[in-house]
């Protein structure tokens, strides 16, 4: 495996402020109620807080050059580990995080939360973290200049257990979700001071642009990364070549191989 050196100096930030922002979002999301078609709502910031806290403490204590934004958790990733795009193998073997995980108050029988014992692999997380491992070698190298967060921490499911995306929620229910999630994202950007904002998929990019408009004094470079979902024919055909090209065009990684 190649080793990489990142030359840009990154400042320490108060990680307790990052954690406080996540706790506020956790509580705000717990206070929301969702009507049909939503039958089940999981908030991994609540029942999988230990994994999320470990992720922030280990990798979120410095300013970053690049912020990657996902949409919301997948059923076999962050829903299980509390880590964005948190495929179990990637989280334990590359990020070196393994924590106790509880369970939502109500679980769909087809979508159990088994924590780090989950036998299913989340393709999106495996692809994304695998690409970063290819480009950076170690998680420490990656997080010297980058950070990954999800816009919304909630997972919604129908009575059948089918996934419901934020874009599929009724407009009146989306308004409060957006208000809370944008406030959290704005706070994270203020703390981490990224220069490059990358949406993992078009929905995430739109949210980054909306929050950046709330920070008119800051100048950002925007980019998009092909979403690694197996539901995307483009990702199934072009991963990892296409996203590798997209990152290269943004100057990512900003590190030099040894």
Q: Would you tell me which CATH number, out of the four given (3.10.450.230, 3.30.43.10, 3.40.470.10, 3.10.20.600), belongs to the domain 12-248? A: 3.40.470.10
Rounded CA separation 202/205 (Å): 5
Per-residue pLDDT, 14 = 97
Quickly tell me which residue has 């509390």 as its tokens.
Answer: 82
User: What is the pTM for the complete model shown?
Assistant: 0.95
Rounded CA separation 232/38 (Å): 23
Phi and psi, residue 12, nearest 5°: -70, 145
Rounded CA separation 253/258 (Å): 13
Question: Under a CB-based contact definition with an 8 Å cutoff, are residues 100 and 115 in contact?
Answer: yes
Three-class HEC string of the chain: CCCEECCCCCCECCHHHHHHHHHHHHHHHHCCCCCCCCCEEECHHHHCHHHHHHHHHHHCCECCCEEEEECCCCCCCHHHHCCCCCCHHHHHHCCCCCCCCCCCCCCCCCCCCCHHHCCCCCHHHHHHHHHHHHHHCCHHHHHHHEEEEECCCCEEECCCCCEECHHHCCHHHHHHHHHHHHHHHHHHHHHHCCCEEEEECHHHHHHHHHHHCCCCCCCCEEEEECCCCCCCHHHHHHCCHHHHHHHHHCCCCCCEEC
Quickly tell me which residue has 């299980």 as its tokens.
Answer: 80
Mean pLDDT per block of 10 residues along the chain (258 residues) reads 57 98 99 94 99 99 98 97 99 99 96 97 98 97 97 97 90 94 99 98 98 97 98 97 97 70
Query: What are the sequence ranges of the domains in the chain?
Result: 12-248
Q: Take residue 223 and report the two structure tokens written for it.
A: 């980019």
Beta strands 256-257 and 221-225 are: unpaired
């Amino acid at each position: 495996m190649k080793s990489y050196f990142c030359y840009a100096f990154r400042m320490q930030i108060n990680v307790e402020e990052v954690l406080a922002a996540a706790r506020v979002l956790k509580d705000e999301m717990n206070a929301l109620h969702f009507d049909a078609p939503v039958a089940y709502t999981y908030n991994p910031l609540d029942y999988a807080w230990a994994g999320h806290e470990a992720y922030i403490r280990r990798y979120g204590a410095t300013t970053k050059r690049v912020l990657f934004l996902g949409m919301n958790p997948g059923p076999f990733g962050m829903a299980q580990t509390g880590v964005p795009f948190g495929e179990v193998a990637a989280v334990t073997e590359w990020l070196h995080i393994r924590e106790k995980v509880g369970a939502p108050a109500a679980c769909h029988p087809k979508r159990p939360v088994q924590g780090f014992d989950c036998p299913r692999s989340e393709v999106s997380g495996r692809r994304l973290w695998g690409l970063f491992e290819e480009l950076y070698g170690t998680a420490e190298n990656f997080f010297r200049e980058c950070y990954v967060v999800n816009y919304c921490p909630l997972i919604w499911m129908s009575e059948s257990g089918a996934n419901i995306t934020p874009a599929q929620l009724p407009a009146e229910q989306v308004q409060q979700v957006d208000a809370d999630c944008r406030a959290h994202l704005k706070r994270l950007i203020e703390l981490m001071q990224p220069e490059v904002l990358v949406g993992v998929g078009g929905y995430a990019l739109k949210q980054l642009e909306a929050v950046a408009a709330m920070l008119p004094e800051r100048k950002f470079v925007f980019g998009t990364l092909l979403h690694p979902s197996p539901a995307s024919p483009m990702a199934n055909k072009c991963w990892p070549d296409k996203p590798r090209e997209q990152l290269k065009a943004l100057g990512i990684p900003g590190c030099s191989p040894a």
